C-alpha cells in the first residue's frame, strides 16, 4: 500500500513530459502558420532567404524547447490532507493554482495517445463534473504513479464522504476482480459490418461534394467541357443499372469507413468488474481507461438491431452525472456486449433494487398523424424542387419519389408501435426503435425534475409531452394521455424522499 506521505510534497510529471509539451506547442504553431510557410517555400525563395528561414526555424525550436522545460518545472501537484484538497500548480508566465476538495472528485480516469504509448506515459484525468471546477489533467505520469495517485484520491474522497451510502467506501485491501470481458478482433469486425452506415455514407457525400467544389473553383472551364461530353450519356447514367452499381459502391465504402472507425474507437476494449466499480479500457488512437461507479450512472441505454441480435451483440451506453456542458463527454459507449455480459453489467449497476416494471403507456395516434403529415409535405416540396430543376427525367423521379414516400410511411407506422413508457416502483424505462431497438433505463431517485407540456393541438385529446431531467441528460416521451400525471406525482415523491447520493 502506498503511503500518503508520498504525495504530501509537490510532485512533477515524468521528465518525458517535456517531449509532450514540446510537440503540443510545436503543433499549435504549425497549425497557425503553415499557410505562411507553404507560401514562402512555393514562392521560389533565394538561397539567402532559405538560410534565414532555416535559422529562424532553429531559433523557434530552441525557444519552444526552453518553454517546454520551464513548463515542466512549473507543473507540480500534491495532496493537502489537512485541508482535504488535491492541489495543482502550473504556468510559466502566469501561475495557476487549482484546488479540488476531496468530496468534489467524481472520477479518476486514464488516457493514452499513440505518442504517450510510444514513450510509455499516461494522462491522469481528475473529473470534477457537477462542480464549478473543470477537469484536471496530468499529461505525463508513469503507470505506477498513475495507479498509486488514483487509488489514494478515490480512497480519501470516499473517506471524506463516508457519511453517505456505504457503497461509496472503497475497501482498504486490494479489490478482487469479479469478472473480465474483452472484445476480440473478430467481434470488432462484426460490429463494423452490422452497425449504422449512415455516418460513413454522409462522410463520403461530404468528401465528394468538397472535392467537387474545390475542382470547380480552380478548373471551372475544364469541368464544363467534361460535363458537356458526359451529357451525351445522360440516358445511360440515369439507368437503374447505373444507380444500383453506384449504390453498391457507396455501401461498400461506407461499411469500410465504419469498420475503420470502430477499430479506432474500440480496439482493445476490456471490462473488469471489481467490488466497487466497473473499469473500462478501450481505444487505438486515444486509449482511455475509465472507472464507473454505480451511483454516478444516470441513464443506462441498450441498443441492438436484428443483425447484431442474431450475432448476440448489444451496445450499452452509460450516461454519467455531469454538468450541462459536458453531457456528450460523459456518455460512454460499450459495443459488442454479449447478452450474458450485459446482464452482469445491469446486475452490478442496479444490485438489490426492484427492477420490476408495472404501468406502461403508449403515445396517442395523433403523434403518428403529425409525422405522416410532415412526410407528405416533404414529398410535395421534393416535387416542387423537381419541377423547377428537372435534374432527372420524370419517368425516373416519379417511381423513386413514390417508393421513398411509401417506405417512409411504413417505417413511421411501425416505429410508432414500438414506443412505450414503462414505470415501476424504482425504475423508469423507455423503449423505441424499429430497426435499432433501444431501451433506456432510469432510476427514479436520480430524477431531478419533470417537465409537463401541453401544446395547443393536444388540449382537445388531453395529451401531454413529458421530459424527465437528470444530471446525465433528459428522457422525453411525447403525446401521452394525462392519465399518467398521478404516476408523475409518485415519481417526484420517490425522488424527494430518497436519501441516496448520486453525485
Tell me, yes or no, whether 117 lies in a domain. no
Write down the pLDDT at residue 205: 62
DSSP state string for 26-76: HHHHHHHHHHHHHHHHHT---HHHHHHHHHHHHHHHHHHHHHHHHHHHH-E
Beta-bridge partner residues of 474: 469
Question: Which among 336, 427, 469, 417 has a CA at the least distance from the CA of 317?
Answer: 336
pLDDT reading at 320 higher than 60: yes
Write down the pLDDT at residue 269: 92
Write down the pLDDT at residue 172: 40
The fraction of the chain above a pLDDT of 90, given in percent, is: 18
pLDDT higher for 173 or 143? Answer: 143
133 within 8 A of 121, measured Cβ to Cβ: no
Q: Are residues 370 and 467 located together in one domain of the fold?
A: no
Q: Are residues 347 and 359 located together in one domain of the fold?
A: yes
pLDDT higher for 384 or 122? Answer: 122
Q: Are residues 212 and 324 located together in one domain of the fold?
A: no
Write down the pLDDT at residue 503: 62
Write down the pLDDT at residue 315: 93
pLDDT tens by residue, 444-476: 989 988 999 999 889 889 999 999 998 888 999
Residue 137 backbone dihedrals phi, psi, to 5 degrees: -130, 130
Write down the pLDDT at residue 479: 94
- What is the rounded distance in angstroms from the CA atom of residue 149 to the CA atom of residue 398? 66
Write down the pLDDT at residue 418: 94
Work out the angle at residue 265's Cα, subtended by the Cα atoms of residues 260 and 269, and round it to the nearest 5 degrees.
115
Tell me, yes or no, whether 488 lies in a domain. yes
Tell me, yes or no, whether 128 lies in a domain. no
pLDDT reading at 119 higher than 60: yes
**Residue 77: partners with Cβ closer than 8 Å, 6 or more residues away:** 7, 10, 11, 86, 87, 88, 89, 138
311 within 8 A of 194, measured Cβ to Cβ: yes
Strands of the sheet with 85-90, listed across from one edge: 11-12, 76-80, 85-90, 96-101
Residues of the domain holding 258: 188-266
Mean pLDDT confidence for 325-352:
81
CB count in 10 Å sphere of residue 314: 22
Write down the pLDDT at residue 131: 47
Mean pLDDT confidence for 431-453:
91
Tell me, yes or no, whether 331 lies in a domain. yes
Banded model confidence at residue 167, pLDDT cuts 50, 70, 90: very low
Write down the pLDDT at residue 105: 81
Residue with cell 474545390: 214
Question: How high does pLDDT run on average in the chain?
Answer: 79
Cell numbers that stand for 92 in this block:
510559466
Domain's final residue, options 246, 266, 286:
266
Mean pLDDT confidence for 115-132:
76
Number of domains in the chain: 4
Q: Are residues 430 and 440 located together in one domain of the fold?
A: yes
Q: Are residues 92 and 206 located together in one domain of the fold?
A: no
| The model's pTM | 0.73
Segment among 159-173, 284-298, 441-455 with least mean pLDDT: 159-173
Number of helices followed by number of strands (H, E) in the chain: 14, 21
- What is the rounded distance in angstroms from the CA atom of residue 27 to the CA atom of residue 33? 10
Write down the pLDDT at residue 224: 53
Based on its alpha-carbon atoms, the radius of gyration of the chain, rounded to whole angstroms, reads 28
Mean pLDDT confidence for 338-365:
82
Alpha helices in 350-435 (DSSP H): 365-389, 394-418
Write down the pLDDT at residue 132: 45
pLDDT reading at 335 higher than 60: yes
Tell me, yes or no, whether 221 lies in a domain. yes
475 within 8 A of 467, measured Cβ to Cβ: yes
450 within 8 A of 467, measured Cβ to Cβ: yes
Tell me, yes or no, whether 378 lies in a domain. yes
pLDDT tens by residue, 363-419: 999 999 998 998 888 888 877 776 776 655 666 677 778 888 888 899 999 999 999
In the chain, what's the furthest Cα-to-Cα distance?
84
Domain's final residue, options 210, 241, 266:
266
**Helices 185-194 and 240-266: angle between axes, nearest 10 degrees:** 140
Q: Are residues 210 and 238 located together in one domain of the fold?
A: yes
Write down the pLDDT at residue 433: 92
Q: Are residues 292 and 154 located together in one domain of the fold?
A: no
DSSP state of 176: P
Segment among 2-11, 309-318, 406-415, 487-496 with least mean pLDDT: 2-11
Q: Are residues 345 and 457 located together in one domain of the fold?
A: yes
Residue with cell 521560389: 44
Mean pLDDT confidence for 229-233:
50
Q: Are residues 259 and 388 located together in one domain of the fold?
A: no
Q: Are residues 337 and 474 located together in one domain of the fold?
A: yes
| Residue 417: half-sphere exposure toward Cβ, Cα within 13 Å | 7
Write down the pLDDT at residue 169: 42
Write down the pLDDT at residue 364: 93
Distances (CA, A) of 64 to 18, 198, 303, 385: 10, 43, 47, 56
Q: Are residues 305 and 450 located together in one domain of the fold?
A: yes
pLDDT tens by residue, 279-292: 898 988 888 888 88
pLDDT reading at 91 higher than 50: yes
**Residue 254: partners with Cβ closer than 8 Å, 6 or more residues away:** 197, 198, 199, 200, 201, 203, 204
pLDDT reading at 164 higher than 70: no
Q: Are residues 20 and 157 located together in one domain of the fold?
A: yes
Tell me, yes or no, whether 123 lies in a domain. no
Tell me, yes or no, whether 121 lies in a domain. no
pLDDT reading at 165 higher than 50: no
pLDDT reading at 63 higher than 60: yes
Write down the pLDDT at residue 414: 93
Domain's final residue, options 266, 285, 314:
266
Amino acid at each position: 500500500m502506498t503511503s500518503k506521505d508520498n504525495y504530501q510534497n509537490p510532485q512533477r510529471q515524468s521528465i518525458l513530459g517535456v517531449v509532450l509539451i514540446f510537440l503540443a506547442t510545436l503543433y499549435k504553431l504549425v497549425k497557425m502558420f503553415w499557410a505562411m510557410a507553404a507560401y514562402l517555400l512555393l514562392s521560389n525563395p533565394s538561397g539567402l532567404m532559405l538560410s534565414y528561414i532555416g535559422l529562424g526555424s532553429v531559433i523557434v525550436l530552441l525557444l519552444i524547447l526552453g518553454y517546454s522545460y520551464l513548463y515542466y518545472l512549473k507543473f507540480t501537484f500534491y495532496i493537502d490532507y489537512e485541508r482535504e484538497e488535491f492541489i495543482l500548480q502550473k504556468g510559466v508566465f502566469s501561475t495557476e493554482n487549482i484546488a479540488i476538495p476531496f468530496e468534489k472528485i467524481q472520477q479518476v480516469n486514464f488516457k493514452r495517445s499513440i505518442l504517450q504509448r510510444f514513450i510509455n506515459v499516461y494522462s491522469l484525468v481528475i473529473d470534477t463534473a457537477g462542480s464549478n471546477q473543470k477537469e484536471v489533467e496530468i499529461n505525463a505520469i508513469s503507470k505506477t504513479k498513475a495507479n498509486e495517485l488514483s487509488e489514494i484520491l478515490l480512497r480519501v474522497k470516499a473517506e471524506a464522504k463516508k457519511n453517505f451510502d456505504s457503497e461509496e467506501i472503497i475497501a482498504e485491501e486490494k479489490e478482487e476482480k469479479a469478472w473480465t470481458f474483452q472484445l476480440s478482433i473478430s467481434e470488432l469486425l462484426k460490429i463494423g459490418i452490422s452497425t449504422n452506415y449512415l455516418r460513413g455514407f454522409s462522410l463520403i457525400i461530404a468528401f465528394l461534394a468538397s472535392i467537387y467544389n474545390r475542382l470547380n473553383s480552380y478548373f471551372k472551364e475544364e469541368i464544363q467541357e467534361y460535363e458537356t461530353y458526359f451529357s451525351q450519356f445522360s440516358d445511360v447514367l440515369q439507368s437503374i443499372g447505373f444507380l444500383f452499381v453506384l449504390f453498391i459502391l457507396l455501401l461498400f465504402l461506407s461499411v469500410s469507413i465504419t469498420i475503420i472507425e470502430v477499430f479506432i474507437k474500440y480496439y482493445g476494449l476490456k471490462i473488469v468488474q471489481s467490488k466497487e466499480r466497473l473499469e473500462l479500457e478501450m481505444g487505438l488512437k486515444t486509449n482511455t481507461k475509465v472507472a464507473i461507479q454505480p451511483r454516478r450512472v444516470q441513464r443506462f441505454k441498450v441498443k441492438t438491431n436484428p443483425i447484431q441480435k442474431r450475432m448476440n451483440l448489444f451496445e450499452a451506453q452509460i450516461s454519467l452525472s455531469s454538468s450541462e456542458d459536458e453531457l456528450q463527454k460523459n456518455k460512454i459507449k460499450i459495443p459488442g456486449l454479449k447478452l450474458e455480459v450485459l446482464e452482469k453489467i445491469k446486475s452490478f449497476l442496479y444490485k438489490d433494487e426492484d427492477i420490476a416494471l408495472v404501468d406502461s403507456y403508449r403515445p396517442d395516434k395523433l403523434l403518428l398523424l403529425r409525422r405522416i403529415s410532415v412526410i407528405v409535405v416533404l414529398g410535395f416540396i421534393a416535387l416542387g424542387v423537381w419541377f423547377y430543376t428537372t435534374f432527372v427525367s420524370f419517368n425516373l423521379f416519379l417511381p423513386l419519389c413514390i417508393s421513398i414516400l411509401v417506405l417512409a410511411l411504413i417505417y413511421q407506422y411501425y416505429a410508432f408501435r414500438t414506443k412505450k413508457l414503462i414505470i415501476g416502483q424504482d425504475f423508469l424505462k423507455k423503449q423505441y426503435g424499429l430497426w435499432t431497438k433501444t431501451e433506456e433505463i432510469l432510476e427514479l431517485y436520480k430524477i431531478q425534475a419533470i417537465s409537463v407540456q401541453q401544446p395547443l393541438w393536444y388540449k382537445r385529446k388531453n395529451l401531454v409531452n413529458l421530459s424527465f431531467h437528470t444530471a446525465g441528460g433528459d428522457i422525453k416521451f411525447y403525446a401521452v394521455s394525462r392519465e399518467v400525471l398521478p404516476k408523475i406525482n409518485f415519481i417526484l415523491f420517490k425522488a424527494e424522499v430518497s436519501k441516496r447520493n448520486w453525485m
